[in-house]
Amino acid sequence: MKKFRWSGLLAFIAILFVCATIFYSTYVAGKIANTERKYVREWIEAQQTILNSKDSSNLNLATQISADNEDIPIIETNEKGVPTGNALNLDTASIASDSLYLTKTLEDFKKFCKTPIVVVVSDSPYTANHYYYGPSKLLKEVEWYPYIQLFIVGLFVFIAVTAVRTRYKNEQDKLWLGMAKETAHQLGTPVSSLQGWIALLKEKETKDPIVFEIEKDIERLELISDRFGKIGSTPQLTRSNPFTEIERMVAYMKLRSSKQVVIECHLPPAVFVMLSAPLFDWVLENLIKNALDATDGAGTISIAANVQNNQVSILISDTGKGMDSDTAGQIFEPGFTTKKRGWGLGLPLSKRIMETYHHGKLFIKRTEPGKGTSFCLQLPVVD
């Protein structure tokens, strides 16, 4: 079952709400448009009544209807569609200064009012006035309202989701940093004790090769403790050649991997970047270990690099089982793992090491189920 995300539900509810608002606003705008057409027709009839009446004492209603229209813009044309010069609620200054203003406005009105209101003036010869009108301010506001609301709701959802994700990420960071520090602290005591026992064994001048192998493993534990101790603090970066670290890590991993896994390196001449060697080695170790797990003991791991635009890109590719898009989208989330005994810390910490401490990048370049995965490391080159 796919992981259910509450943020997706929140976005869906917001979109549903806005869609309902748009639908209702469209419905209301339609009713307002129909009502305004009736108002325009009533205004035209009132105008005709005033023009044709011989008794001015009975024109109170017509005059009131004519005066009440202060919002709906109207343009009168003859039967050929030529403006007669009679217009209402338009910018009089623009009419006076721009000879094409009425014509341009009339074209806009024709798009809005596709069927004009026709008043026949004479049957023989046939003459008629056509009345086109545009949207009132109220109608414009109603039409724009859902889009403004969509923007506000979208902005609110974005801010809310961003705030919650930031808070969640900060809490997760504190948790993983605390675990890293505690792990380093807990490892310190037994490692120091083991170093003491090795020193005693050496004093006895023993030549047993097991002692030297144990010493190597203790050094490895010390390195691991040092790595965990550096998480959460600002590591010291030195000008280093990353390819040297890659070759050293590949040599180390070859001795601890299946002989049916081929690890290839295709590295250009030396370049220099700012590195914390222990932390960068940890990233390499995590990526190579993941590649080894993906190959299930048989396959090829290829490490290649190129330098372009003052940036070195290191590609670590395997011919393993690959990942689907859902897995690839969650692989850098703390706690997410596809392994039965995994903690889901390796890749998130590796990404943090690359981006926070080294100002570089770590991302999936390519992955496909059954065809393998390629991770890309990017670091800025220094002189």
Percent of the chain at pLDDT exceeding 90? 25
pTM of the model: 0.51
pLDDT at 197 over 80: no
**Residue (of 307, 318, 303) closest to 368 by Cα position:** 318
Interval 50-77: pLDDT, tens:
777 666 666 677 677 767 777 888 988 8
- First-to-last alpha carbon distance for the chain, in angstroms, is 50
Interval 153-195: pLDDT, tens:
778 778 877 887 777 777 766 666 666 666 666 676 677 777 7
Residues 68 and 45: their CA atoms lie apart, in Å, by 13
**Residue (of 290, 311, 325, 309) closest to 377 by Cα position:** 311
H-state helical runs in the chain: 6-52, 60-68, 92-97, 101-112, 137-203, 209-230, 242-254, 277-295, 325-330, 346-352
Three-state SS at 127: strand
Q: What are the residue boundaries of the structural domains of the chain, listed by start?
A: 6-139, 235-380
pLDDT at 246 over 80: yes
- Token pair 């550096």 is found at 230
Interval 311-360: pLDDT, tens:
999 999 999 999 999 999 888 887 778 777 666 778 888 998 899 889 99
The domain 235-380 is placed in CATH, from the list 3.30.565.10, 1.10.645.10, 3.50.50.60, 3.40.50.880, at 3.30.565.10
The reported pLDDT for the residue numbered 229 is 67
Query: Under a CB-based contact definition with an 8 Å cutoff, are residues 278 and 238 in contact?
Result: no
pLDDT at 247 over 80: yes
Query: Under a CB-based contact definition with an 8 Å cutoff, are residues 79 and 126 in contact?
Result: yes
Q: How confident is the model at residue 362 (pLDDT cuts 50, 70, 90)?
A: very high
CA dist list (Å): 146 to 10, 19, 361 = 19, 8, 40
Peptide bond between residue 125 and the one before it cis (omega within 30 degrees of 0): yes
